[in-house]
Amino acid sequence: MLGISLFLNIKNSIFFKLRILFGAFLFVLTVLSLIVFIAADLTIKKEFVDRVHFFVANLDDAVEIRDILAVCNKLNVTAITDKKEISSRINNANDIIEIQNPHSPLLNLYTLRTYLDSSVIIESYGEKIIVNDAKSHILVYSSLSLLIIALYGTLFGIYRAIYKSLIPLRGLKEAIRRFGDGDMSISTHTDKLDEIGEIANQFDHAVKKIRDLTHAKEAFLTGAAHELKTPIAKAIIAAHLLEDSKQKKTLLDIFDYQKNLIDDMLTLNGFELITHNDGFEEVELRKFIDDIVSLYQTVESKSVDILGEEVKINTNKRLLKLILQNLIQNGLKFSSDGMVIIDILSDKIEVTTTGEELAEPVWKYFEPFYKENSVRNKTGTGLGLYISKKAAELLGFKLIYIYKNGKNTFALVF
């Protein structure tokens, strides 16, 4: 599935489509180049044959080499008489084709072609001379080659220019992904004046505005929460002074709920400024969990046992502590035998308690402010598991629930 997803991402990528388009243009240009070269070669061959026939027609009755050389001088055609050079040219020829000569049967005529030029071999009475073609095809092939190279260079230059102009899209895509993960420290400001640069700068402006609003909201909520905490603290002190124990308990439950709710809201508010990998460090889980559990061991008839191996992970201590505290507190509240077992494994931490299975699907408990009607702790806010799940997501972990053989287990999977 991962391979299919990766293939679809590549297939839908604008860079992949650009490469395919560039490859198609290269293929078409290569095919056209071959067609042009073949057509040019056929044309050169035909023109060469025509010139040979013209030359042969002008030989008239010339049979001896000296007479043929005289005709060459008359037609201003270069003739090669050096035997070594003639032999070398014949040995290096691509092809040698005999020419039918109705004008002078005593002469043997052949066309000789190399990669660079064409010539005519004239043989008379055992002697040979080579007459060079007055029109060399080197210039034609060179001109065509330069033209095609120029077209390839132009096409590559256009591709490179388009590709460079689209590269900022990758950075913008990564910035949007990080922003979606809650990272508001990103900046996509650019000095480019094209459409992509304009989009990047507009997005950068929007991120800054959202960041400012978030900071303002956080400051407001923090201030408001502290303002609310003060009268609640005073109300708790006043409730303790009441003599009516039933009324005292009712009021303390109400005030504890309000205090816990404010604390949870402050915790959620702080999440908005935490991003994935923010403040990560190596943590020895056994020692880390021991320190957390020591806070709960003084509770009467309650016990937390730690099992498993020593494992080190790279994580945010604050968020991990928050998750484990919530799971341990829930376990101590709802465990039927007052026992909480924490098992440290190489890929997860399991918090297990004895008791009845959750009455509703677990996803409901991960929603904010959800509580069962039968819940025993009236001071619970219904935010504990929601906060734990959010914190797990920020860490890149998963929080899952399993019920088996009368045991409730919440597993934090790394």
Residue-range domain boundaries for the chain? 11-166, 183-275, 281-413
Hey, which CATH number is domain 281-413, 3.40.50.261, 3.20.190.10, 3.30.565.10, 3.40.50.720? 3.30.565.10
Q: Which residues in the chain show pLDDT less than 70? A: 1-12, 60-62, 101-105, 115-117, 133-139, 257, 260-261, 264-265, 268-278, 296-302, 371-381
Answer for the pair 97, 84: CB distance below 8 angstroms, yes or no: no
pLDDT tens-digit series, residues 174-185: 888 888 777 777
SS3 306: strand
CATH 3.60.20.10 fits 183-275, yes or no: no
Q: How far apart are CA 37 and CA 31, in angstroms?
A: 10
What is 320-335 written as a DSSP string?
A: HHHHHHHHHHHHHHH-
State pTM to two decimals.
0.49
Beta-sheet strands, E only, within 73-142: 79-80, 95-99, 108-113, 118-124, 127-132
pLDDT, mean over the chain: 78
Token representation of residue 3: 């391979």
Rounded (5°) CA angle 348-349-355: 125
Q: How far apart are CA 372 and CA 375, in angstroms?
A: 5
8-state DSSP, 383: -
